[in-house]
Chain A
């Protein structure tokens, strides 16, 4: 009888300690998850001032110049690629497909309703320093204000901003 009770007690202790370990594991897992959603350094808490439109920036920006631009993530079917530090933005004055009444486009951020020339004239490339834009929670059609320096401009159609900070409008 005593032996049976001891076995039951030992089993109960083992069960309780097992549950404790499980809880610990779950807790660790939660901590890991919460770490991955911590805002990344290049996401700005406050909106940079004096943002210019992409069209204006393309007209006058020079390599090495500090600049703040405002735009919307899009301009192609996949503006943000997993693991790639580069994404594209389009001038806010160019309406995306979702803003056109009656348009049923499944990927409104690709601006397929606009001509290729208009998209090129109103688009810019944003390059983060070896960071994945998705880690900062960026996604298609997000309105963003980007602070950075102008990269090389081999011709007037190319505008690359080496971004130091990204502010997501409306968050």
Chain B
């Protein structure tokens, strides 16, 4: 019974550590793309550095930037400059629904698939302009709060007074795009009444450096634009979520402390029942140190078993679980460092939970210990 309590206590602590670690890691990966090959720079409106959704720049910036910044990546005559609109729009499951679902929409042209190579079409095809077609990310259903089958190819979503057919699904693992709905740029421009403006232009550098784009942005004061490395932009968004991360860590530590106290209680009860046995060992000549180590070993063994059970349950139930947040959605990520922290947390419960009761157990004089029932 006590062994079961130790196992459950340790498993729960490990599960909690894995959940909070996976949450933090998932958000970190999504908002801090660290692919060294990704050399994208975002050109957006001055004063909108903290949120591209607020940015409005002239549609001509795409052409001017592509022509003015030498050294942008180019393939088969196509310059890697993607004009985009980012908008959070209320969509409905169908025309009769009265519930608004908050979708993160990105209006794009085909060049976006070159500029964002992490986006991979996993089913269907890209949407065509003027055909009321859209493409959804792998986590879009989580963001929309709809069952996954509701965003399958052939299904429709309703916004701007008409139905839009889902013709493609894409995956962009480890990126906020994974939860977005992509729509042809011109269609979104019409739907949002901003035919002559964009949210941003994302360019991919080749021979050019960030400085070249920065010089262009600062020199064209008339365009009211600024340049920011894409990685830096998402890092600033991640910094915004810093307090949430701290709150999660504090909560995890508090609950883990509860787990340790629970473990202490269990061990006190377990060791109290073995006072006589400990007294016998002492009278046979075993040193106090050897007995303490033995008791800790027992406790750590039970905790380790619980930690393994918790880790297996966590990997089965939590890994990849989609979580919604304001920027879209991300998947809980239980990678090696998170699993290691979880296992160490479980072992810590075993060690910290055993030492005080073991010492208390040894404080009793041997004659009294031998007489105890």
Contact = CB atoms under 8 A, between A and B. Distances in A.
Interface of A: 75-78, 81, 83-88, 110, 112, 116, 119-120, 123-125, 127, 151, 154-155, 157-160
Given A81-B214, A84-B215, A127-B215, A76 B222 contact: no
B221 A159 contact: yes
A86 B222 contact: no
Contacts of B221: 88, 120, 123-125, 157-159
11 contacts: A76-B47, A78-B226, A83-B211, A84-B211, A86-B219, A88-B218, A116-B224, A123-B221, A125-B221, A155-B222, A157-B222
B328 to A, nearest CB: 24
B42 to A, nearest CB: 13
A75 B226 CA distance: 11
B226 A77 contact: yes
Contacts of B226: 76-78
A84 B220 CA distance: 15
B214 A86 contact: yes
Given A76-B218, A119-B224, A160-B219, 18 more contacts: A76-B46, A77-B46, A77-B47, A78-B226, A78-B228, A81-B210, A83-B211, A84-B211, A84-B214, A84-B215, A87-B218, A120-B222, A123-B221, A127-B215, A127-B219, A157-B221, A157-B222, A158-B220
B291 to A, nearest CB: 48
Contacts of B214: 81, 84, 86
B interface, how many residues as a size bin?
10 to 19
Contacts of A85: 211, 215
A123 B225 CA distance: 13
B218 A125 contact: yes
Contact of A77 (B49, B210, B219): B49
B58 to A, nearest CB: 12
A81 B220 contact: no
A110 B47 contact: yes
Query: Of residues B46, B49, B210, which shows the largest number of chain A Cβ atoms within 10 Å of its Cβ?
Result: B46
B238 to A, nearest CB: 17
Nearest to B209: A83
A77 B292 CA distance: 60
A158 B222 contact: yes
**CB-based closest 3 A-B pairs:** A157-B222, A84-B211, A84-B214
Contact of A120 (B211, B219, B224): B224
A155 B64 CA distance: 14
A112 B46 CA distance: 9
A127 B49 CA distance: 23
A75 to B, nearest CB: 8
Nearest to B218: A86
Nearest to B48: A77
Nearest to A155: B222
A165 to B, nearest CB: 19
Nearest to A81: B214
A128 B49 CA distance: 25
A148 B144 CA distance: 55
A78 to B, nearest CB: 7
Contacts of B219: 86, 125, 127, 151, 158, 160
Interface string B217-245: 01111101010100000000000000000
Contacts of B210: 81
B267 to A, nearest CB: 50
Contacts of B224: 116, 119-120
B65 to A, nearest CB: 14
A40 to B, nearest CB: 18
A81 B49 CA distance: 14
A158 B68 CA distance: 15
A116 B218 CA distance: 14
B254 to A, nearest CB: 31
A75 B47 CA distance: 9
Nearest to B232: A78
A112 B49 CA distance: 12
